[in-house]
């Protein structure tokens, strides 16, 4: 049993093999993110009035698709179409904590 543990630890400690000839790693572009400027209702489809989820104010969302002035966004399992003007590049300020009161 200790031989198995030693072999497994050796195998896990080795660096991965480099890609072979003609096999370069595929670069992945980071997803673009923005924040909701206020509480933002969405629609399920870009040109329909079917209601989708409402995104809270200041929520960081991932941009999935842009079609004209409409953007499909995602936050966790919430996905919907919103107006591009409902999003901002500026992160919301951090919350202000109340002063700490020490016992006397």
Higher pLDDT, 96 or 21: 96
Whether 103 maps to a domain, the answer reads no
Whether 5 maps to a domain, the answer reads no
**Mean pLDDT across the chain, nearest whole number?**
81
The domain spanning residue 52 has which CATH number? 2.30.30.40
Domain limits for position 51: 30-85
* CA 16 – CA 5 distance, rounded (Å): 20
Whether 58 maps to a domain, the answer reads yes
Whether 66 maps to a domain, the answer reads yes
Q: Tell me, what's the pLDDT at 6? A: 56
* CA 65 – CA 32 distance, rounded (Å): 10
* CA 88 – CA 16 distance, rounded (Å): 40
Higher pLDDT, 14 or 51: 51
Higher pLDDT, 91 or 26: 91
Whether 95 maps to a domain, the answer reads no
* 63: number of Cβ within 10 Å: 15
Q: In the numeric block, which tokens belong to residue 61? A: 């969302």
**Residue 3 clears pLDDT 80, i.e. is over it:** no
Whether 2 maps to a domain, the answer reads no
Whether 40 maps to a domain, the answer reads yes
**Residue 92 clears pLDDT 90, i.e. is over it:** no
Whether 34 maps to a domain, the answer reads yes
* Confidence tier at 104 by pLDDT (50, 70, 90): confident
* CA 15 – CA 104 distance, rounded (Å): 57
**Residue 16 clears pLDDT 90, i.e. is over it:** no
DSSP assignment, residue 50? -
* Confidence tier at 39 by pLDDT (50, 70, 90): very high
- Number of structural domains found in the chain: 1
């Amino acid at each position: 049993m200790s031989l198995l543990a030693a072999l497994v630890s050796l195998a896990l400690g080795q660096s991965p093999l480099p890609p072979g000839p003609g096999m370069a790693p595929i670069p992945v572009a980071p997803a673009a993110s923005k924040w909701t400027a206020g509480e933002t209702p969405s629609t399920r489809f870009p040109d329909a009035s079917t209601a989708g989820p409402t995104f809270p104010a200041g929520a960081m969302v991932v941009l999935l698709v842009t079609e004209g002035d409409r953007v499909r966004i995602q936050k966790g399992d919430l996905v919907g179409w919103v107006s591009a003007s409902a999003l901002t590049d500026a992160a919301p300020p951090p919350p202000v904590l109340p002063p700490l009161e020490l016992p006397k």
